[in-house]
Chains A and B, each alone.
Chain A
Amino acid sequence: AQSVTQLDSQVPVFEEAPVELRCNYSSSVSVYLFWYVQYPNQGLQLLLKYLSGSTLVKGINGFEAEFNKSQTSFHLRKPSVHISDTAEYFCAVSEGSGNTGKLIFGQGTTLQVKP
């Protein structure tokens, strides 16, 4: 069965510092990988996705992630964070090998950006 592990439940960081949110997955089949962001009192919105092709994926708001098949990781990075990046971030993997829309989510990482 597929699973997703987000290694940090909370990541505090100062404004303008770089940040990395870690995500590891397990799967015996090819996967699609996603990062979603949830701002306070809002639903989730897509940050970026890996479907195929280049392993470095760029998303919205200056975020990027790198798919590493050998390490089964999909870590999210941003070189300089803003206060407005404070939110909860979810890594997700598509279930099975098909285009089903059924996602398995990690536990979430709360990014706390301090002034």
Chain B
Amino acid sequence: DADVTQTPRNRITKTGKRIMLECSQTKGHDRMYWYRQDPGLGLRLIYYSFDVKDINKGEISDGYSVSRQAQAKFSLSLESAIPNQTALYFCATSDPSAVSGANVLTFGAGSRLTVL
């Protein structure tokens, strides 16, 4: 099984619908992140969480919300999806206590979301 699992892997939805993307990890890492990838823009940080009680906005949090249900689970929600939220979404984890530090991220395989 993958260390960081994202579901669903692909989703097509309509404008105005509520969508949840889920992420679970078996790494035992405290820190979890949601990034969005768009062609030509690289990855941009949406939200991050340093532990279950700590949630922080990233660069592009408008239109998104998150929930850290447990150390291993971090969900991203789009309350009312719009077409410009069509993108590839990545969940990632990191471990600040590791020798390499918190900046080494372990990524999931991605969730491709299309909003029509």
Are A and B genuine complex partners?
Answer: yes
Chain A residues at the B interface, C-beta cutoff of 8 Å: 4, 6, 9, 32, 34, 36, 41-46, 49, 51, 90, 94, 99-103, 105-108
Establish whether residues B42 and A94, one from each chain, have CB atoms under 8 Å apart when the complex forms: no
Establish whether residues B41 and A49, one from each chain, have CB atoms under 8 Å apart when the complex forms: no
Establish whether residues A105 and B44, one from each chain, have CB atoms under 8 Å apart when the complex forms: yes
Contacts of B102 in A (CB 8 A): 99-101
- Tell me if B74 is interfacial: C-beta within 8 Å of chain A: no
Name which of A9, A46, A102 has the most chain B CB atoms within 10 A of its CB: A102
Establish whether residues A107 and B42, one from each chain, have CB atoms under 8 Å apart when the complex forms: yes
Contacts of B101 in A (CB 8 A): 32, 51, 99
Which of B41, B94, B96, B105 contacts A44, CB < 8 Å? B105
Establish whether residues B41 and A101, one from each chain, have CB atoms under 8 Å apart when the complex forms: no
Which of B44, B45, B109 contacts A42, CB < 8 Å? B109
Closest CB of chain B to A9's CB: distance in Å?
A: 7
Establish whether residues A103 and B44, one from each chain, have CB atoms under 8 Å apart when the complex forms: no
Which of B35, B48, B96, B103 contacts A32, CB < 8 Å? B103
Contacts of A106 in B (CB 8 A): 42
Q: Given contacts A9-B40, A44-B90, A107-B40, is CB(A101)–CB(B107) below 8 Å? A: no
